Amino acid sequence: MKMKNTMLVVKDMERSRKFYWEVMGLRTLVDLQIHAVLTGGLGLQTEASWQGFIREDISYKGNDAEIYFEEDDFDTFIEKLTKMDIEYVHPPYTHEWGQRVVRFYDPDNHILEVGESMKIVCRRFLDAGFDEMQIAKKTGLPLKAVRAYLR
């Protein structure tokens, strides 16, 4: 078995496709009007069609899951977000292992997390004078992973 996509139910397909293009940089690969597949393996399904499939009520803003993205140029991405009408789950902050993250809602209140890539985190620590062992300890990554990120 192989997992293929993650799918989100959306109220307005065009609004959601536009959001994921403008904010997240995801292109539409397949557009079937009621279903779209975006780059990165994200699927969007219209609320009406999904309700027809499951024959159950749909609730939004459950805050029980997220779609996770990584960004190498975190500062530029945060600057981009400040120019948009975004509802934040929380403002950008730094986890104890050094990774900077931000969480916000898409137009249908699905949580999106954008985290700084761990490769960039390791490089930032190296530039700050940490050695490989110190980086591994700080990030919680195996030394082998730290070395791979720093290559």
Residues sharing a CB contact under 8 Å with residue 97, sequence separation 6 or more, in sequence order: 121, 138, 139, 140
Task: Dump pLDDT digits (tens) for 44-90.
Answer: 999 999 999 998 888 888 888 999 999 999 999 999 999 999 999 99
> From CA 88, how far away is CA 63, in angstroms rounded?
12
The residue-averaged pLDDT of 2-8 equals: 91
Start-to-end C-alpha separation, the chain: 33
Residue pointed to by tokens 């070395």? 147
Model pTM? 0.90
| pLDDT, the chain, mean | 96
**Residue 3: pLDDT over 90:** no
> Comparing 136 with 58, which gets the higher pLDDT?
136
